[in-house]
Amino acid sequence: MIALDKQTIRDIDAHGKRVLVRVDFNVPMIDGAISDDTRIRAAVPTIEALRAQGARVVLMSHLGRPDGAVVEGLRLAPVAVHLSGLIGAPVTMVSDCIGPEAESAVAALEPGNVLLLENVRFHAAEETNDPAFAALLAKLGDVYVNDAFGTAHRAHASTEGVAHLLPAVAGLLMEREISIMGGALTEPEHPFVAVVGGKKVSDKIGVLKNLVGKADHLLIGGAMANTFLRAQGYKMGMSFVEATSVSTARAILSEAPHAGTVIHLPVDLVVASQLSSSVDTFIAGVGTVPDNTMAFDIGPATTERYADIIRSATTVIWNGPMGVFEMEPFAAGTLGIAEALAQVNGTTIVGGGDSVAALEACGHAGSVTHVSTGGGATLEFLEGVELPGVAVLRDRAIAAPQ
């Protein structure tokens, strides 16, 4: 972990203070029940640390896309109940995130108490980053903490606007995300291997460009590999190829050797006549994909090569599945990568919604150094973009040169 250049909750004395904390409680819900509490659990260390400091903790989050209206199914009440169980203490809930009810509930908090404000996106002013709305939020705290890494790529009132109005520092999850991923991008221990897959080159151009020149090896899989193979002139049958990105892929391939990055493409593929979990599949070497078939996974020889390179790495960043891992016949490549990652003696980082789902599905989430909680935020971070919700936090004082 490298030292974060932003102040964190460790740099403040929160005792007795009202601490307004932006968390990411945007959890998946099925019929009003939380189906995955990962994001809630990820915020607990910051909440516990603030309670231990004797802070009056005021939490705020968005949930779903209510688009500026009150949507009953997107109330945060189930999250308050769940959080209360996790921290073993009551979590008070109010029916709005601003206004008299919220203000009096905050005024009633004792040191160590926790309050959860209602969904900030019930107000359209949240996403427009309206300064008047940010000022109403700021009335509820003496200090602001941003622990919502997954929303830090959005300049909204609760992630950015309010941070101009109060002393603003990072929470522990935010610190961990930025220092582990930032450390790998800026001061990686070599060999540094990046694994990039998923569907489209166009979704990941920024990530690919940022990794070329930083990573020693860049392993490409998923449908994205089809576009790169096409750029090298291979016939890909009926496989998904992003025609508009072929020239980008070609440019990345020609630039990489000069930047010190070796790009690896599949040498074999799992192909089938259609995308179905009961279809017959076979292995085709690159250049021999039959006209009437499509590539849906990297082949076994590729998986073995990629796994060898991963196992000899000291830093690995993985974003994007190697195939249609959601279907058993096309899951082996992604599983092979996850298994290799679990064996690495070094720092291993996995980011991206589908990549994290794949890692969890094969039971390896506990074997990597860091599973990023962001989707879009993680991708932007890997692109090297400064996230607005981070930029606005207080800088750490830099020691004067001697």
Q: Which two tokens stand for residue 217?
A: 């090896």
Q: How far apart are CA 329 and CA 335, in angstroms?
A: 11
- Looking at beta carbons only, is 158 or 226 nearer to Mg ion? 226
Contact range with ligand ADP by CB under 6 A, out of 161-169, 282-290, 319-327, 385-393: 319-327
Q: Which of 177, 242, 354, 380 binds Mg ion (CB under 5 A)?
A: 354
Instruction: Report the half-sphere exposure of 42 (CA within 13 A, side-chain side).
Output: 25
46 binds, among Mg ion, ligand ADP, none (CB under 5 to 8 A by kind): none
80-110 as b/e: b if 16+ CB within 10 A: bebbbeebeeebbbbebbbeeebeebbeebe
Q: Say which DSSP state 368 is in.
A: S
Catalytic residue among 18, 39, 154, 214: 39
Can 56 be counted among the known catalytic residues?
no
Backbone angles phi, psi at 330, to 5 degrees: -120, 20
Instruction: Report the half-sphere exposure of 312 (CA within 13 A, side-chain side).
Output: 8
Q: Which of 46, 159, 355, 373 binds ligand ADP (CB under 6 A)?
A: 355
- Looking at beta carbons only, is 296 or 306 nearer to ligand ADP? 296
199 binds, among Mg ion, ligand ADP, none (CB under 5 to 8 A by kind): ligand ADP
- Looking at beta carbons only, is 263 or 295 nearer to ligand ADP? 295
Contact range with ligand ADP by CB under 6 A, out of 208-216, 230-238, 309-317, 349-357: 349-357
Q: Which of 117, 236, 295, 338 binds ligand ADP (CB under 6 A)?
A: 295
Judged by CB under 6 A, does residue 326 bind ligand ADP?
yes
Judged by CB under 5 A, does residue 353 bind Mg ion?
yes
Judged by CB under 6 A, does residue 217 bind ligand ADP?
no
Q: Which residue has the tokens 């005021």?
A: 58
Cβ–Cβ under 8 Å, residues 313 and 306: no
Contact range with ligand ADP by CB under 6 A, out of 3-11, 181-189, 246-254, 315-323: 315-323
Applying the rule CB under 6 A, the residues between 197 and 216 that interact with ligand ADP are 198-199, 203
- Looking at beta carbons only, is 144 or 234 nearer to ligand ADP? 234
CB of 342 to ligand ADP, least distance (A): 17
E strand segments, 68-139: 91-93, 114-116
Residue nearest to ligand ADP (CB): 198
Helix (H) or strand (E) holding 339: helix 332-342
CB of 267 to ligand ADP, least distance (A): 15
> What is the distance in angstroms between the CA of the first residue and the CA of the last residue of the chain?
26
CA nearest to 393, candidates 185, 60, 155, 181: 155
Can 353 be counted among the known catalytic residues?
yes
- Looking at beta carbons only, is 141 or 323 nearer to Mg ion? 323
- Whether cis (ω within 30° of 0) applies to the bond prior to 191 is yes
Can 376 be counted among the known catalytic residues?
yes
Judged by CB under 6 A, does residue 237 bind ligand ADP?
no
Q: How far apart are CA 163 and CA 390, in angstroms?
A: 10
Contact range with ligand ADP by CB under 6 A, out of 99-107, 195-203, 308-316, 362-370: 195-203
Judged by CB under 5 A, does residue 380 bind Mg ion?
no
Q: How far apart are CA 389 and CA 401, in angstroms?
A: 29
Report the alpha-carbon angle 123-128-133, nearest 5.
Answer: 55
Helix (H) or strand (E) holding 349: strand 347-350
Can 200 be counted among the known catalytic residues?
yes
Q: Which two tokens stand for residue 348?
A: 């291993």
Judged by CB under 6 A, does residue 223 bind ligand ADP?
yes
Determine the distance from the C-alpha atom of residue 319 to the mean position of all C-alpha atoms in its chain, rounded to a whole number.
Answer: 10
Q: How far apart are CA 67 and CA 94, in angstroms?
A: 20
Active-site annotation, residues: 39, 200, 353, 376
Residues at the site binding ligand ADP, with contacts judged by CB under 6 A: 198-199, 203, 222-223, 240, 295-296, 319-321, 323-324, 326, 352-355
